Structure 1
C-alpha cells in the first residue's frame, strides 16, 4: 500500500498526513490481501479524531492528561478529546425499572467470572514489524496444524517450540480469570469450548499464540442485586456511546472534508 492509492485527506482545511493514517491502519482489521480496507477505516477514524480536536481547540479547551494505568498517561490530544466529550455529552442514568427489565430479559447473561485452565504455544515477534510478524505467523500456523492433527502432542509441541517460559511445563498457564491475560488473548478464550485448540494463531502484543482451553468453569448466575451495578454501568456506557456517535455525526455534517474514501459495504 503506497501513499498514492488515496488522495490527500483534508478536514476543514487541515491536511491529515498519510503517515498518520498508515499508523492508524495498524489498529484496524482487513481481509488478507486487501490493505485498502484497513486504510479506509483508518482514514475515517482520523477524520473523527481531527474533527474532535478542532472542536476542542475552537472552544478553547485545555488538556489535563489523566493517568490511565501504571506507566500510561493520556496524551494531550487524548485529554482534549475526553474533555470535549465530557463537556458536550450528558446522559440520563437508567431508572430502577429499566435496570430490572434489562436483568429480567435474560438473567443468564449475568454471571460471576469464569475460570479457565489454559495452555498455549507462543511464537514471539514484534507485531509492529510486518515482515517479522508474517514470518512468525507462518511458523505459528504450522504448529497449530500439528496441534489439530495430533492433540495429544500439544505439550510436546510447546516444549519444543514455545518462546514462553511456560513451554517447559508443556505450555500450561494454569488457572486464569478475566483480566489475567492481555485483552486479545482473553477475547478468544471467551469464545472457546473445553479441549478446543484455536484453529488459527492469535496475535497479541507478545506475538502469535496457539491456545488450548484445557478446562472451563462457568460462573454462576448472579442475583439482580449483585448484577445491578454492572447493568447500570453498561447501560450508561451504551447511552454515552450513542450520544457520542450523534455528536460526531453532527460535526461531520458541518465539516468540509476532501479525499475521504468511501467505506466498503
Structure 2
C-alpha cells in the first residue's frame, strides 16, 4: 500500500512538472482553450514599435491592459466561431482585404527598418528649419499702434485732432473699430511689417520712431491712422533644442521617405 501511495505521488509530481511549461506558455484558459503567451508578446511588440516611432515610452499600466485585451479577443473569437462567421462570404472578402493590408504594412515596415533616419539627417533638417526661421539681414520689427475707422473723413479728423495734442490711446479706445487693439489703445505689439496687409506694411516702413501717418492709409479693412512707438532689429524666434525635438523630426522625415518610396513604386508600375 505504501508503495502504491508513493508511486501515485511520484506520478502526480511528474505530471505537474510536465504541465508547468504548458501553463507558462499560456496567459489564460478560456472555456477550456489555452490562450498562448505568443499573442500577448506579439501585441506588446506592436505597441512598443508604435511607441518608438512617436518617441514616447509605453506606460507601465499598459501591460495589464494588453493581457486583458488578448483574453477578450479570445472570448469574442470563440463566440464568432460558434456562430459560423468564418464560413460567410462577407468574412472571406474582409479577410482578403486584411491580408493585403497586413502584407503592405509589413512591406512599409521593412522599408523603414532598412532606411532609418540618421542623427545626421535629423540634425541637418533641424538646422534647415532654424535657418528658415532666422530673420533676413537688416530686417526690422515695429511696435506700432493704429486707429481703424470706416470712412476717410473720420481718419482725417483723427489726424487733425492728434496734431492738436489729442491722446492717441484715448481716441483709439473710443473710435477704433478694431476689437483686438482698440481696447488697448490701438497697441499692435511688436511685429514684422510683412505680417500686415501690403498697404499697412508700406506705410509703416516709411515712419520713424514716434511718427504718425500724415494721411489715412486705406486697406481692405477701412482707413488706418498709424503711429510707430519703437523700432528694433528683428530677432529670430526662440526654438527648442535639437535633442528635444529630434524624435518628432525623425518621425516626420521617416514619413517623407516612405511617401517617396510609395511614389517610386507607383511610377515604376505598369498600369494598363
TM range, smaller chain: 0.3 to 0.5
TM-score (norm 2): 0.35
Q: Relative contact order (alpha carbons < 8 A, sep ≥ 6): 1 or 2 greater?
A: 1
Q: Of Structure 1 and Structure 2, which has the larger fraction of its residues in helix?
A: 2
TM-score, with normalisation over the residues of structure 1?
0.36
Larger Rg: 2
